[in-house]
Structure 1
Amino acid sequence: MEEIHVREGEVELILPRTFQRSPKKMEVFYNPMKRLDRDISVIFLRALAEIIPRKIVVLDLLAASGVRGLRFGCEVDGIERIYLNDGSKRAYEWMVKNWKRNKQKLRCEVKLLNEEANKLLHSLNEYFDYIDVDPFGSPNPFLEASMLKIRRRGILAVTATDTPVLYGVRKKACLKGYFSLTEKTPFMREVGVRILCKRIIEVGAQHEFAMYPIFAHAEKHYLRIYFQKELGAQKALRLLEQCGFLTYCENCLQRKVWYGFKYEERCECGAANKVIGPIFLGEILNPMVISKMLRNTEDLRIKKLLEIAAEETNVKIPYHYITTEFSSKFKLMEPKVEELVGRLKEIGEASRTIFSPKGFRTNLEIKRITEQFFP
């Protein structure tokens, strides 16, 4: 088997050359396009290790090549022990190779496991401060068992790669898998994040867990959300009460929030609304977490993303707009998003958004927004 060496962060990976093929043909899964996701998770875990007043225990449930967990072990202080698991025998063999390659740089104990994910969660006597669930496809099969193994105030980090389902392309699959109506919209990445948030909050509530989303980001092929677990039926219920529907009118671009199970099928302009939901309509970015993450990175790309996220926490609106929507619909000259946000701030609340490079969030009505575009 021909091998290839790949450097990521402080870890050097040994991989079969087949990792460059499609996921179904890979001997062990490694996605170089998710490097940013893993960089952010390292920074997040550094911040978490500062908050928890003891050494933490980590589980990478679907570790594949072991890259994420090994990076945790080599790049994050304050970890007592990391479990790396994958159900694939071949993936486990490559994980062992990569552990041997990097074991001299590890700052904590690392245990390697080769078990089916849910079977492992049910059999382990250990409870975790951080569980990472990064599947190929939907995380649904692993949510409940993972939550049961997280300590109070511990973190569940969830990735979903079934983006056609969550981004509104496969509507029936979304209804079947996430129990939500969805539509393809210009702000589909945030919609996908809020659908997954709702689903995880629902699963947690069944066990009287309150699963608070505290950070999220989304790209074309995946989305990623970090949840903090709290205990209590009332806390879980208050999160459920923040779920509802979002309507979107393609004709006039209006978005409208509906709490509970009511919504209008027609917009005020008379056109039919696109109906999305139930989704989580509450806050998905925690300013304290973002502040701690900013103090734990020198990466300029991630710093910029986190600075935008920090700005975004000041505008409590569960959707965003895209500049190209307005320029296309109303035949307006498209401004730079930074300039537009600056003008919007003079008359209301506004910020950029991490969900789109041309996106912005504001509490202003469509008419007031269009007035800030160049005719």
Structure 2
Amino acid sequence: MTVFAPDDLTVVPVSLGDRSYEIKIGPGVLAEAGDAAKALGARNVAVVTDQTVAGLHLEPVMASLEAAGINAAPIIVPPGESTKSFAHLEKVCAGLLAARIERGDLVLALGGGVVGDLAGFAAAVLRRGVRAIQAPTSLLAQVDSSVGGKTGINTPVGKNLIGSFHQPSLVLADTDVLDTLSPREFRAGYAEVVKYGLIDDTEFFMWLERNWQDVFAGGAARTRAIAKSCASKASIVSRDEFETGDRALLNLGHTFAHALEGAVAYDGTRLVHGEAVAIGLALAFRFSASLGLVSQAEADRVVDHLRAVGLPTRISDIPGEVGNADRLMDLMAQDKKVKAGRLTFILVRGIGRSFISTDIPPQNAKSFLEAELAEPVPSFDD
């Protein structure tokens, strides 16, 4: 996957034939929103954002659109995972219709993964599909959820079970906005960065081990980490857009993570998505070690790195109760990757050597979870 880097701007292409688009990464790229919408031929743009992001970034985006002669309408939703619901999808769609968004117009998703998934899904179903620009404002969204066209909402049964594939026309990943994130939110996003090294790029994981503090500090290392993550995802999406094959590798750690999020009822005060992913990555490596697929030393190396940056790695790191192994197995049974009632796990033979497995007996997974729940280690805060 070619990455273009003129001056301070890095451009990562996502090659999908007539649905190809670019990810523009760099400081201040949100200022291009107006020119980008104009270049795409839109007359009207609805900016979907949440209350927190609106207070930080909505005004300059609206100004950019208006300066380009675009009719811009904001649609503001509450922050938090609970916003990814049927009720808020209905409200966003009503707002888009009130703003007279037509097929030739644009929905601009300004926010983290929740806004991106919700607004993207609304764009997918409005008038049977209108175009969207993703403007991710969290690290997690910049390296993962804004790229690849997965959109959707949650239900009480499970996460992201209602949705569609709807590729954006452009992704604007403004690195300046990451300075407004809380330390917790930035750390949570970093879990998705680490994931790309663990999937199939040992050298990238080793680079992160050496340079993670520079990534947290900002500057060139941060931009490099974001661009490398986006290029890794773009490469997989380009060859498997609809997750019929190895795109499932992008879900390393997520079968466990989504179950844990469901177990806390998507309560972001207890567990945010990236933290769940960090625990899920640790569980995937420990589960693989328990199956004899990877050495315990290599699993420990991954856990040590996650803990070094301040991320949780054990179920016991989650405040409060999450239920027993049966409860977690029930939640995992609703995972999107389930086929013919069989769980699909992304397992590992080493760092950068992940693979898809559909033949793990459920009892093995349940026994592993029982051991994890019965033998907690001290919290990473201790």
Q: State which structure, 1 or 2, has the greater radius of gyration over its C-alpha atoms.
A: 1
Higher RCO structure (Cα 8 Å, ≥6 apart): 2
- Identify the TM-score tier after normalising by the shorter chain: 0.3 to 0.5
TM-score, with structure 2 as normaliser = 0.33
More helix by share: 2
Greater share of strand residues, 1 or 2?
1
